[in-house]
């Protein structure tokens, strides 16, 4: 018969036991129970109800098979061997297992009762980290499947997770800032390179000159070739550490509209130059090409053509395995650039130089969480000295904003059905008027005010006098942090939509016109996390815009249900939305958020259920915090 003292000797080579603290091993010694199972025996199944114990395999192999809708065996997932544990997700969530675990051979195992499992979570940080990473491992499996699917279509040749230092094929060409322009150009010709970097005495980059700089600044600028390089080079060029990835370079180039990045080592010394050309192999649409096409568009027709590449660019990134957080941030960045270009084009016809104003983005754009299907949510904040000036400026700003809203609609950002747009006088307000709005909503939180809070309290300025938005945030947090009654009502509002988990079936679904079951992953998925995170942010004065940043800075749940699992769940739902919207667009249909359950494979169904359980845990936290 097995004895508990053999725990350390037997399990030490296997994770997570190889990282267990001495007190955690001692706890196992006192609580493990030996058990044997014949080949073919069902060890755990959904029909047994809430999981009663964690199994640690000592000898033999166990097969894990996904359970079908009625709890019957479905698609084979994996085989477990010595040192592996199950069913961790079910125990953590105090629920039935989603899998049927069957002994493939004769199996010996140690059993840790459910009560002791939760005690061990509280006792051992190593075990807690292992269990809270469970959902992340499932999400990783799904993302790998997604990447493989899109990679076949995109014929991707490299990963955007490639380290930039691994893309460097030659040492950088460097000079000092006092080098004559003539000599710098000669060096570029001799070395057959498109750029030369100026470094200081410590080898740190301080300037960059490219071939285009030679044409624009030297030739066209008629600068004497005897002048020092410092007269024409770009000062303080963009840099990234050697450990940064190709994605980091893509995002930086797209955000800043540049074609070259300098790599630096830990000491800040120049170690390489990455150009847009170096990254061409990683994307069909050239890195930065979309951003520059947007910024250089001289009319709406040109901008429409440039924005069509956003879809392809996003597709390429899905094929490279880029995560949902980076994807939505990338899409939001390009959408910001498009909005800014439309504003620039319209400013040619609407003189606004003497007005202090800012263009505001609300909702998902305000959180930088836009997917491929998004409409407009925007407004304007401006300053006015008195009522007469206010009315005159508002009239001018409204005419301008209505033109901008129409052009955004022409470029693929549909007009807001609720008319939450800067061209609506209700959302083209002075700073004082916005403050009054916020004060009214918080001090008199009627249903309409709570609805407005879910939209307008997620905002940022994307053009103009950005400090006006900062002043709006300051006022908002001053009111919300001091008003517990408003927080409570906002928390109640966040609980009006429950995770669509079924008691008998896996999910509570809606039906489309053909009777096919679906879940709206915006209304019944992402919103659950967004609304809860907003309440927490307002209660703690956290000025982060994104849902993930809000969760990281405000939320701490008990061991086993940590913030990392919440974030993994939210990211998975966002990734599922992006995948669906891309496939819909590829078939010529407008993107939406309807996920048809019958089209999901067993792995995605399993993760989606776990994601909704995490949403339920987050909502439970609000219930506890506000005694709801």
The domain boundary, picked from 256, 282, 308, lies at: 282
pLDDT at 498 over 50: yes
Give the pLDDT confidence score for residue 445 in this predicted structure.
Answer: 76
Report how far Cα 392 is from the mean position of its chain's Cα atoms.
41
Q: What global pTM score does this model have? A: 0.62
The residue behind tokens 């494979």 is 601
Give the pLDDT confidence score for residue 286 in this predicted structure.
Answer: 47
DSSP string, 480-527: HTT-HHHHHHHHHHHTSS---B-SSSSB--EE-TT--EEEETIIIIIH
445, 509: one domain: no
- What is the rounded CA–CA span in Å between residue 195 and residue 55? 60
183, 84: one domain: no
Which residues, including other chains, have CB under 8 Å from residue 524's CB and lie 6 or more apart?
497, 499, 500
97, 185: one domain: no
Is 298 part of a structural domain of the chain?
A: no
Share of the chain above pLDDT 70, in %: 85
Residue 417 or 192, more confident = 417
Which residues, including other chains, have CB under 8 Å from residue 502's CB and lie 6 or more apart?
508
CB 518 within 8 A of CB 597: yes
- For residue 214, the 8-state DSSP code is I
Q: What average pLDDT does the structure give for the chain?
A: 85
Is 156 part of a structural domain of the chain?
A: no
> How many independent structural domains does the chain possess?
4
CB 602 within 8 A of CB 72: no
Between helix 289-296 and helix 300-319 the angle, nearest 10°, is: 170
DSSP string, 225-292: TTSBGGGTSEES--EEETT-BHHHHHHHHHHHT-SEEEEE-TTS-EEEEEEGGGGGGG-SSPTTHHHH
602, 544: one domain: yes
The domain boundary, picked from 282, 305, 320, lies at: 282
- What are 224-234's pLDDT values in tens digits? 999 999 999 99
Q: Tokens standing for 60?
A: 């033999």
Distances (CA, A) of 238 to 177, 206, 234, 262, 270: 17, 10, 10, 6, 12
CB 427 within 8 A of CB 361: no
Other beta carbons within 10 Å of 156: 21
CB 506 within 8 A of CB 468: no
Q: Are strands 378-382 and 428-430 parallel, antiparallel or unpaired?
A: parallel
CB 371 within 8 A of CB 328: yes
Give the pLDDT confidence score for residue 132 in this predicted structure.
Answer: 67
- What is the rounded CA–CA span in Å between residue 218 and residue 130? 59
- What is the rounded CA–CA span in Å between residue 266 and residue 244? 12
CB 486 within 8 A of CB 493: no
356, 389: one domain: yes
- What is the rounded CA–CA span in Å between residue 173 and residue 275? 13
The model's confidence at residue 5, banded by pLDDT at 50, 70 and 90, is very low
Give the pLDDT confidence score for residue 326 in this predicted structure.
Answer: 79
Is 337 part of a structural domain of the chain?
A: no
Average pLDDT rounded to a whole number, residues 577-602: 74
Give the pLDDT confidence score for residue 554 in this predicted structure.
Answer: 82
Is 210 part of a structural domain of the chain?
A: yes
Task: Give the DSSP H or E segment for 89.
Answer: helix 88-92
123, 170: one domain: no
Give the pLDDT confidence score for residue 306 in this predicted structure.
Answer: 81
Task: Give the DSSP H or E segment for 471.
Answer: helix 467-480
CB 175 within 8 A of CB 299: no
Is 155 part of a structural domain of the chain?
A: no
The domain boundary, picked from 230, 265, 282, lies at: 282
CB 540 within 8 A of CB 528: no
- What are 370-395's pLDDT values in tens digits? 877 678 999 999 999 999 999 999 99
Phi and psi torsions of 555, nearest 5°: -105, 125
Sign of CA dihedral 501, 504, 510, 515: positive
pLDDT at 136 over 90: no
Range of the domain at 74: 4-132
Cα angle 339-342-348, degrees, rounded to a multiple of 5: 145
Is 62 part of a structural domain of the chain?
A: yes
Cα angle 46-50-531, degrees, rounded to a multiple of 5: 100
382, 458: one domain: yes
Residue 84: give its domain's CATH number.
Answer: 2.60.120.10
CB 538 within 8 A of CB 477: yes
- What are 288-340's pLDDT values in tens digits? 677 888 888 888 988 887 887 776 677 667 666 677 777 788 888 888 999 99
Average pLDDT rounded to a whole number, residues 56-64: 91
Is 332 part of a structural domain of the chain?
A: no
- What is the rounded CA–CA span in Å between residue 205 and residue 94? 56
Residue 243: give its domain's CATH number.
Answer: 3.10.580.10
Q: What is the CA radius of gyration of the chain?
A: 28
517, 465: one domain: no
Q: Tokens standing for 162?
A: 């490639």
CB 316 within 8 A of CB 322: no
Q: Return the SS3 of 155.
A: coil
406, 505: one domain: no
Give the pLDDT confidence score for residue 280 in this predicted structure.
Answer: 61
- What are 348-357's pLDDT values in tens digits? 999 898 999 9
Q: Tokens standing for 99?
A: 């899998």
Q: Tokens standing for 319?
A: 């094929």
Which residues, including other chains, have CB under 8 Å from residue 479's CB and lie 6 or more apart?
438, 439, 442, 443, 486
389, 432: one domain: yes
- What are 103-129's pLDDT values in tens digits? 999 999 999 999 999 999 889 988 887
The residue behind tokens 């953590």 is 92
Is 85 part of a structural domain of the chain?
A: yes
- For residue 215, the 8-state DSSP code is I
Give the pLDDT confidence score for residue 395 in this predicted structure.
Answer: 97
Give the pLDDT confidence score for residue 522 in this predicted structure.
Answer: 92
Residue 67 or 551, more confident = 551
526, 459: one domain: no
Give the pLDDT confidence score for residue 59 in this predicted structure.
Answer: 92
The residue behind tokens 């807690």 is 128
21, 53: one domain: yes
The model's confidence at residue 74, banded by pLDDT at 50, 70 and 90, is very low
Distances (CA, A) of 528 to 94, 499, 578: 21, 7, 17
- What is the rounded CA–CA span in Å between residue 566 and residue 278? 37
């Amino acid at each position: 018969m097995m004895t508990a003292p053999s725990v350390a000797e037997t399990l030490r080579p296997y994770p997570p036991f190889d990282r267990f603290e001495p007190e955690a091993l001692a706890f196992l010694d006192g609580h493990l129970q030996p058990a044997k199972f014949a080949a073919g025996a069902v060890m755990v199944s959904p029909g047994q109800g809430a999981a009663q114990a964690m199994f640690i395999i000592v000898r033999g192999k166990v097969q894990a098979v996904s359970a079908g809708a009625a709890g019957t065996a479905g698609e084979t997932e994996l085989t477990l061997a010595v040192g592996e544990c199950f069913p961790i997700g079910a125990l953590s969530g105090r629920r039935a297992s989603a899998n049927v675990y069957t002994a493939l051979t004769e199996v010996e195992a140690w059993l840790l009762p459910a009560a002791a499992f939760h005690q061990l979570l509280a006792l051992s940080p190593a075990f807690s980290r292992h269990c809270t990473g469970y959902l992340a491992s499932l999400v990783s499996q799904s993302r790998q499947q997604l990447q493989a699917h899109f990679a076949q279509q995109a014929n991707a040749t490299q990963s955007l997770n490639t380290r930039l230092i691994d893309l460097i094929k030659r040492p950088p060409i460097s000079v000092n800032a006092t080098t004559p322009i003539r000599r710098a150009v000669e060096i570029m010709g001799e070395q057959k390179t498109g750029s030369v970097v100026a470094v200081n005495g410590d080898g740190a980059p301080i300037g960059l000159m490219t071939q285009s700089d030679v044409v624009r600044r030297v030739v066209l600028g008629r600068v004497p070739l005897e002048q020092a390089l410092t007269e024409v080079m770009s000062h303080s060029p963009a840099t990234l550490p050697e450990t940064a990835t190709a994605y980091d370079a893509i995002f930086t180039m797209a955000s800043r509209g540049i074609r070259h990045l300098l790599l630096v080592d830990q000491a800040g010394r120049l170690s390489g130059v990455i150009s847009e050309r170096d990254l061409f192999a990683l994307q069909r649409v050239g890195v930065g090409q979309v951003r520059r096409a947007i910024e250089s568009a001289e009319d709406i027709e040109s901008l429409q053509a440039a924005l069509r590449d956003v879809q392809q660019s996003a597709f390429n990134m899905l094929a490279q395995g880029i995560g949902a957080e980076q994807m939505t941030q990338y899409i939001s960045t390009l959408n910001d650039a498009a909005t800014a270009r439309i504003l620039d084009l319209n400013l040619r016809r609407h003189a606004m130089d003497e007005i202090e104003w800012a263009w505001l983005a609300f909702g998902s754009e305000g959180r930088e969480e836009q997917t491929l299907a998004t409409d407009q949510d925007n407004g304007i904040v401006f300053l006015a000295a008195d009522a007469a000036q206010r009315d005159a400026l508002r009239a001018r700003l409204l005419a301008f904003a209505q033109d901008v809203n129409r052009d955004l609609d022409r470029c693929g950002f549909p007009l807001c059905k609720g008319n939450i747009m800067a061209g609506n006088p209700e959302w083209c307000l002075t700073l004082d008027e916005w403050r009054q709005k916020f004060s009214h909503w918080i001090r008199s939180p009627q249903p309409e005010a709570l609805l407005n809070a879910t939209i307008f309290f997620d905002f940022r300025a994307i053009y103009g006098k950005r400090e006006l938005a900062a002043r709006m945030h300051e006022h908002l947090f001053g009111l919300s942090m001091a008003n517990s009654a408003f927080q409570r009502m906002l928390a109640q509002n966040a609980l009006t939509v429950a995770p669509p988990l079924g008691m008998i079936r896996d999910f509570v679904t809606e039906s489309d016109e053909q009777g096919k079951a679906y879940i709206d992953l915006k209304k019944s998925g992402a919103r659950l996390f967004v609304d809860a995170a907003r309440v927490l942010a307002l209660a703690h004065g956290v000025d982060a815009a994104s849902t993930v940043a809000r969760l990281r800075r405000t939320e701490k749940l008990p061991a086993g249900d940590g913030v990392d699992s919440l974030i993994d769940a939210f990211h998975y739902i966002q990734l599922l939305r992006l995948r669906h919207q891309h496939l819909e667009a590829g078939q010529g249909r407008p993107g939406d958020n309807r996920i048809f359950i019958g089209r999901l494979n067993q792995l995605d169904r399993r993760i989606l259920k776990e994601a909704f359980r995490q949403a339920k845990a987050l909502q439970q936290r609000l219930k506890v915090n506000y005694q709801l």
